[in-house]
Copies of this chain bind each other. A is one copy, B any other.
Amino acid sequence: MTDPTGTTDTTTTVDERKGVSRRRLFGAVGAGAALAGAGALVGRATAAEPPFSHADVVAFRGEHQAGVVTPAQDRMHFVAFDVTTKSREELEALLKKWTVMAERMTAGEEATPDGAIGDGLYVPPSDTGEALGLAASQLTLTIGFGPSLFDDRFGFASKKPAALEELPHFRADNLDPARSGGDIAIQACANDPQVAVHAIRNLARVAFGTASVRWSQLGFGRTSSTSTTQDTPRNLFGFKDGTNNIKAEETDVVDENVWVAYGDDQPWMAGGTYLVARRIRMLIEQWDRTVLGEQERVIGRSKGSGAPLSGKAEFDELDLDSKKGHDPVIDVDAHVRLASAQELGGIQILRRGYNFTDGSDGFGHLDAGLFFIAYCRNPQEQFVPMQLNLSRNDAMNEYIQHVGSALFVCPPGLAEGQYWGQGLFT
């Protein structure tokens, strides 16, 4: 974001103070970006603009929302809101305001035209300022609506998609209501965490009186690759994660499994998707006491290379039929077997989770785990059967506990002039 009064220019004009010129630059980048479709990277800012080290801008508008198949950024801040107003008009006004702010921030601008200092001394600044001088950092902001938003408060009942049913209870779920649910979710992903936190904070701030933060989660490192251009990162069990994920480049697989098609359900959400969030505590002390062979049996892959136990290299296909004597090489309870398309009649989801650590648990351990995010075209037909299978049989269950859960429907991307959630109001 622009730093209107950098330390070097002590003789700035008012226009420079407001950073107008740099903002114009960004405006242009944003416009070009829109042509490429939301989620597309539109190149780095020029090297002549000094503080812009993570300067990639991801287009905000397009057929689909950004932040789904966009190559997973390194850091995340996720927030779920409760809507506190009963007024449909106030909610609509907030969504309009959010859209304008979100588009600006993803372009590397301040949340508002006047920003942190441009309004003058006599009003509260309209941007909180901590991202001044920081680049866009591939910030994406992705919105979703929870089942509770479609109750009788706002007249959205007739707009509710059939697949937006609350998730069932899964075996061993130990969900904290204070970390579950929510009327509206916003996922902020960026390569600079300060940019992601700044975005959520400014959106939360203008919601005052209309919506309030129900829960939020910081993810310090991505645990998934969502593009063939990315390395596979590691989760806190030390295993590569995202190897057999859907990749953005597989557009047919994405269309089949991620984006809601016309005719699937409510017309307003064609081109949208569903977001499932699960806060999964990892019992890392138990895991760390387990021998390597057992860890690899539980996952079904080799820890070093990430190769399936039935293969040699990371991207070798799972061979679920491969045997060593009478025993399957990939265990019957191995995580990758139970979650695989082969086992589940072709079901696939797009995973986009983040590692977290939130202090300690009061028992001498770190409170660490995986903030699991999945996108899919129909959660009832994809996430639910997959998680039913995992919750019943997964050998990994000894080492994890699901402690938070939420489901949201994500509307499609926006054309010029449209605002977040417009389909609900028209």
The interface of chain A, by Cβ under 8 A from chain B, is 3-8, 10, 17, 51, 75, 77, 79, 82, 84, 116-117, 119-125, 127-133, 178-179, 192-194, 197, 200-201, 204-205, 208, 212-218, 220-221, 231-239, 284-285, 288-293, 295-296, 302-307, 312-315, 355, 357-360, 362, 364-366, 368
How far is the CB of A51 from the nearest CB of chain B, in Å?
A: 7
Residues from chain B with a CB closer than 8 A to the CB of A129 are 234, 237-239, 303
| Contact indicator B125/A5 (Cβ below 8 Å) | no
Residues from chain B with a CB closer than 8 A to the CB of A235 are 130
| Contact indicator A125/B193 (Cβ below 8 Å) | no
| Contact indicator B17/A124 (Cβ below 8 Å) | no
Question: Taking A218-B220, A289-B124 as contacts, is the C-beta distance between A213 and B178 under 8 angstroms?
Answer: no
The 3 closest A-B pairs by CB, nearest first: A129-B238, A212-B364, A5-B304
Closest to A51 in B: B231
| Copies of this chain assembled into the complex | 2
How far is the CB of A121 from the nearest CB of chain B, in Å?
A: 3
| Contact indicator A132/B75 (Cβ below 8 Å) | no
How far is the CB of A76 from the nearest CB of chain B, in Å?
A: 11
A4 to B214 alpha-carbon distance, docked (Å): 43
| Contact indicator A292/B218 (Cβ below 8 Å) | no
| Contact indicator A116/B220 (Cβ below 8 Å) | no
A238 is contacted by which of B128, B285, B314 (Cβ under 8 Å)?
B128
A213 to B358 alpha-carbon distance, docked (Å): 13
Residues from chain B with a CB closer than 8 A to the CB of A192 are 221
| Contact indicator B289/A234 (Cβ below 8 Å) | no
Which residue of A7, A239, A315 has the most chain B CB atoms within 10 A of its CB atom? A7
A217 to B130 alpha-carbon distance, docked (Å): 20
A357 is contacted by which of B119, B216, B239, B368 (Cβ under 8 Å)?
B216
How far is the CB of A194 from the nearest CB of chain B, in Å?
A: 4
Question: Taking A4-B304, A205-B285, A305-B5 as contacts, is the C-beta distance between A231 and B133 under 8 angstroms?
Answer: yes
Residues from chain B with a CB closer than 8 A to the CB of A237 are 129-130
A221 to B75 alpha-carbon distance, docked (Å): 12
| Contact indicator B292/A123 (Cβ below 8 Å) | yes
A55 to B65 alpha-carbon distance, docked (Å): 34
Closest to A222 in B: B194
| Contact indicator B288/A205 (Cβ below 8 Å) | yes
| Contact indicator B305/A355 (Cβ below 8 Å) | no
Question: Taking A194-B220, A205-B285 as contacts, is the C-beta distance between A116 and B366 under 8 angstroms?
Answer: no
Closest to A129 in B: B238
How far is the CB of A217 from the nearest CB of chain B, in Å?
A: 6
Question: Taking A220-B220, A234-B133, A313-B10 as contacts, is the C-beta distance between A122 and B291 under 8 angstroms?
Answer: yes
Residues from chain B with a CB closer than 8 A to the CB of A368 are 197, 201
A117 is contacted by which of B208, B303, B312, B362 (Cβ under 8 Å)?
B303
Question: Taking A201-B284, A292-B120, A293-B121 as contacts, is the C-beta distance between A313 and B357 under 8 angstroms?
Answer: no
Residues from chain B with a CB closer than 8 A to the CB of A360 are 79, 213-216
